[in-house]
Amino acid sequence: MAADPSKLQTQIDIKPPPLPFHAESAPETLQEPKLSFFASRYRRTRRRRADTWLISLFVILHIVAFTATMVVNDCWHKSGGDCAFKAFGRLSFQPLSENPLLGPSASKLDEMGALRRTFLTENRQTWRLFTFPCLHAGAIHLVINLCSVVFVGTHLEQEFGPLMAGLIYILSAFVGTLVAALFVEKHPAVGASGALYGLLGATLAALIQNWEMYTNKFTALVSVLFVSIGNFLLGLLPYVDNFSSIGGFISGFLLGSVLLSSPKVREPAQEKGGLLDYDLKSSIKLRVRLKLDRPVYRSVAFVLFGVMLAGCLVAVLQGIDLNQYCGWCQYVDCIPFKGWSCRDMETFCETMVSNEQLTLTCMSNGNFRVLPYTNVSQDRVNDLCSVICS
């Protein structure tokens, strides 16, 4: 019985070989797939611990610095037991009327390296430019700031590598410190949020430069905006400096425009037959072309960052106070409230000891406070005087 010709044709039909790969078709062949912005391509495979080691190190260092600050603060002994969360003992916080962020006193922030105008202009303590970005005003500031750093920083480190994320973190923190030093007043200020805003600025720059790569662009923008606004509002409370956040964001955006050209790509896996998914040389050429893309844009961003860094550094060393030229700038960093004032003023208190009690009276507004003890340091008297006079 003769075989059916159509069935025979189906049995001997051979699939044609794949077309050879040409370098000229690299842009179309190697086009990046659409990705979710905060879903790293590293997360498609098993995540390695080494992917986020640098951000984790920064977080640990900040926690150590805050713990050391609270140990030095020692509210339980140095404030006569007038503390919040007394169960923490030596690590208990100052009263909320003194520090609403659950943190140390103003004098202990000064001791650990906070910024004041007088420290830079009169005492020339430039070393505080390096301690300022390492300090947090309180436990609330610490938790919110570090959670934001983990949320934003791990993404940048996974996508662009620890070197790029580390450079942006450190340089943004330093430039943010310089900007803060131009506006800092006579009360202590800390600026750990400058580095966070540098990461936020770099994230925005990376999103803009790789706009076509991502699927949830507007969700990413809302996330960056939400983190930025939340931490900025936190900066309106005492001791947290918002000018460092502004400087960090601008410098982070410029650095991100220079350094973050495209996300880091893993090498392609080799097939059983020894053939690569695409030609390796063409892949390298394509990535080099992507890194050299938009040279004018990246060059302008690099020049602007250099001008910002050099200009702020010279201005700080010259002792320039930009508050003299901007009367409303103080409200960027503070909002008047019942418990504190945004006015930069000297405080003077009269002390009187009687019957094992210490009475402090503010000379500017007449407010007073009676303490049930007399063994108190001068730094503690100054802290209480600032609270009474505000």
Q: Given strand 357-362, what is the order of strands in its sheet?
A: 349-354, 357-362, 368-371
* Residue at 80: amino acid letter: G
Q: pLDDT tens, 246-268?
A: 999 999 999 999 998 665 544 44
Identity of the highest mean pLDDT range in 42-56, 163-177, 346-360, 362-376: 163-177
Would you say residue 20 has pLDDT above 60? no
Query: Would you state the pLDDT for residue 159?
Result: 87
Would you say residue 61 has pLDDT above 60? yes
How many angstroms separate the CA atoms of 58 and 365, rounded?
Answer: 44
In this prediction, residue 277 has a pLDDT band, given cuts at 50, 70 and 90, of: very low
More confident call, 282 vs 329 = 329
Find, among 229, 155, 168, the residue nearest to 201 by Cα.
168
Query: Would you state the pLDDT for residue 293?
Result: 59
* Residue at 295: amino acid letter: P
Q: Classify domain 52-263+291-333 at the CATH superfamily level.
A: Rhomboid-like (1.20.1540.10)
In this prediction, residue 273 has a pLDDT band, given cuts at 50, 70 and 90, of: very low
According to CATH, where is 1.20.1540.10 located in the chain? 52-263+291-333
Span 204-232, average pLDDT: 88
Query: Would you state the pLDDT for residue 264?
Result: 52
Report how far apart, in Å, the C-alpha atoms of 200 and of each of 165, 229, 314 are. Answer: 11, 11, 26
CB 115 within 8 A of CB 83: no
Span 10-28, average pLDDT: 49
In this prediction, residue 11 has a pLDDT band, given cuts at 50, 70 and 90, of: low
Would you say residue 306 has pLDDT above 50? yes
Would you say residue 279 has pLDDT above 60? no
DSSP code per residue over 143-209 = HHHHHHHHHHHHHHHHHH-HHHHHHHHHHHHHHHHHHHHHH--SS-BB-THHHHHHHHHHHHHHHHH
What is the rounded radius of gyration, in angstroms, for the C-alpha atoms of the chain? Answer: 28
In this prediction, residue 21 has a pLDDT band, given cuts at 50, 70 and 90, of: very low
Q: What is the DSSP letter of 271?
A: P
Query: Would you state the pLDDT for residue 139?
Result: 96
DSSP code per residue over 201-224 = HHHHHHHHHTGGGBS-HHHHHHHH
How many angstroms separate the CA atoms of 245 and 197, rounded?
Answer: 6
Span 142-161, average pLDDT: 93
How many angstroms separate the CA atoms of 94 and 105, rounded?
Answer: 6
Cβ contacts of residue 329 below 8 Å, gap of 6+? Answer: 183, 322, 323
Would you say residue 231 has pLDDT above 60? yes
Q: Are strands 368-371 and 357-362 parallel, antiparallel or unpaired?
A: antiparallel
CB 198 within 8 A of CB 173: yes
Query: Would you state the pLDDT for residue 288?
Result: 52
How many angstroms separate the CA atoms of 157 and 53, rounded?
Answer: 9
Query: Would you state the pLDDT for residue 29?
Result: 43
How many angstroms separate the CA atoms of 312 and 234, rounded?
Answer: 25
Cβ contacts of residue 340 below 8 Å, gap of 6+? Answer: 238, 334, 390
In this prediction, residue 17 has a pLDDT band, given cuts at 50, 70 and 90, of: low
Would you say residue 380 has pLDDT above 90? no
Would you say residue 213 has pLDDT above 90? no
DSSP code per residue over 257-294 = HHH-SS---PPPPBPTTS-BSS-HHHHHHHHHHHHTSS
Span 216-240, average pLDDT: 91
Query: Would you state the pLDDT for residue 15?
Result: 54
How many angstroms separate the CA atoms of 271 and 302, rounded?
Answer: 42
Query: Would you state the pLDDT for residue 72?
Result: 94
Q: pLDDT tens, 62-121?
A: 999 999 999 999 988 888 778 899 889 889 999 988 899 999 999 999 999 999 988 988
Report how far apart, in Å, the C-alpha atoms of 362 and of each of 23, 83, 359, 376 are. Answer: 78, 22, 10, 17
How many angstroms separate the CA atoms of 265 and 253, rounded?
Answer: 22
Query: Would you state the pLDDT for residue 274?
Result: 44
- At 275, list the tokens: 């053939």
Q: pLDDT tens, 162-205?
A: 999 999 999 999 999 999 999 998 889 999 999 999 999 999 99
